[in-house]
Structure formats: C-alpha cells, structure tokens
Amino acid sequence: MVRSPHYVNQFNNKNYYSEIIDVRSENEFIEDHIPGAINLPVLNNQERVIVGTIYKQSSPFEARKLGASLVTKNISNYLEKYFIRKNKHYVPLIYCWRGGQRSNSLAIILSQVGWKVQILEGGYKTYRQHVRQELEILPLKFNYNILCGLTGTGKTDLLHKLSKKGHQILDLERIANHRGSLLGKEWGKKIDYQPSQKYFDSLLLQKLKSFDVTKSIWMESESYKIGEVYLPSKLWHKMKKSPCLEVQLPLPERVKFLLREYTYLITYPNILKDRLIHLKSRYGKEKIDSWFRWIDQKKWFDLVQDLLVTHYDPAYQKSISKTYKNFEKMIYFADFNSIDIEKILES
C-alpha cells in the first residue's frame, strides 16, 4: 500500500516508533540530537557546504539541482545498505532542522515503499524548545540528597553503590564525561571529549524522565559548571537547597583511592604537567617546580597528597561552604573497606 508521510509533534514514544532518524549533517548531529536517534544525513557536511555556497554566491536554482542530485544518491545508498533489512512493520520517525525538505526527501521515498513514516513537525527546533522548557520545570519536581566530601572520598563510587541498593542516582559527571576539576578530563580515552551543552541538556533530560518523582534522587555536590558544560539553573538552585551528607576519610586513604582511580595521571606525566602549569599564577613557580620534580621522580603519593592539601581541599571547602548550607550530618570512615551504605542511609 502506498502511503504519505504523517506529521507528528511527539518524539519520545519508543513503544510506537521503530527508530528515530536524524537526517541532518554529521556536525549538526554531533552538536545535539534526540538521544537514541541514528544519523543518516541526506546531505553530509561537505555536501551541505557546497550546496549552500552555490545558493548564496551563484544561483539558488543551480544549488537546488545539485542538492537534489546529492540527496537522491545518498538516499539510494541508504535503501541498498540499510533499509533493505527492514520489514513491512517498520515505523520510522524522521526529523531535520525544521521538519522541511531534508526530512521530506527521505520520508516520501520510504512512504512510497509502503512503510508508515512519521515526520517530526518543526524538526530539531521543536525538540530543542521542548528540552529547554522541560529543564525549567522537571528538575523542580524532585527531592535531592547531596553527597558531599573532599576530593578522594569516593562519592561517585558511593552513588553507584546506592544505585545497586535500588536508589535513584543522578551521576552528572558521567553525563558530562568529566570529573569536575582541573584534572577531571580523563585523557588517553577513545572518547575523551565532553558533549556539547545542548547534548548534555538532552542526556540530562532523558535521565530525569526515567526517574520516579515520588522518590528522592542521590547526587554529588557538583559545581554549577562541570568541565565546559553548565547545569540547568533550576536544577542548580534546587541542589543548593537540598540536604547534604558529608563523608569523611583520612588523607592517606584518599590519596590511595585517587591513585587507583586516576591512573591516567601516571600514564601521561607530560599532559599532567601541562594541566598543572595553569596553577602557576596561584601557587608560584617554586610550588610548580616541586610538583614537577615529584612527577619526574615518580613520587606519586607525595604529589597527590600535596595537591590535595594545597589546592583541592581548600578550594572544595571554600566552594562547599558557599553553596550547600543544609548539612544534615557528617559520617567518618577509617578506610574504604569500612564504608557502610546503610549508615549513610540512616536519617
């Protein structure tokens, strides 16, 4: 049966759509997209630039001719290599920037095959507006418990132990792909970049929508900025008013934990030096030189301990005293083996 594409304004009904297809260029997709969408550009990065240049500098008509040729070629390739495997019950949701020509070009062809094709009305712009609106409202519907503690107290580990106990957790550092400090961007990974601000928003909203509003969410005591991305203002203000529980561990235990967790500090000493040099204006050449000597001598325990005492602990204490006022309790553990999740959960 020959069908026509159908416009919809819903894009999160996973039980209805077989998959969501973003037909924008690769760069547009990387900047932000609906989580879970796949990217099948009808015009790739280079093609889009070429067509756009001809449109502006030469002739809109010539640009449309070339664009049609390129789009047809790309869609033909997708039909042969991707859509050929889809059965007759396949229901894709397609979107481009505004829900116009690019999404229609693919939707019309797939509809003619006989699939029930949906187009997101207003395209990505509709989706982005939805994200912004939801992040003004949804974070305020939850109650949060904030895990506080100096660097090296294993707050992220504690979060995931709470998750295993069935509690809701929001790991903002994982979403941001950054540990929230000068040395928090892990180098040496295959994926060592942070998401754009827009895609961070998308991932955050997706996670918030998965939570039960009748249950509290456990989080770390983050700053307003994690690496290069910012928290939504409504979430940040709600976090600052939430009850805070501080976990304390002896300094040597924290150093040992960081050496286990931040192995890339040791693996890439030259990159470590490049990061530390940014602190020269604050602590002076003599302090930086001493850190560099410890790196060259592989005195990692001495280095990390002094970084905590000199930089991280004072910075954290200053930040936490300004940000989180609602301290409920402090819990001291002698080492990581003695950490008791049930003790943390006690009211």
Q: Which residues are annotated as catalytic?
A: 96
Give CA angle at 205 (204, 210), nearest 5°: 100
Q: How far is CA 184 from the centre of its chain?
A: 14
Q: Which of 326, 150, 319, 314 is nearest to 238 (CA)?
A: 326
CA dist 321 → 8, 127, 149, 313 (Å): 48, 38, 12, 12
Residue 50 is given by DSSP the state H
SS3 of residue 166 by DSSP: coil
Q: How far apart are CA 273 and CA 54, in angstroms?
A: 47
CA dist 264 → 151, 253, 323 (Å): 17, 19, 30
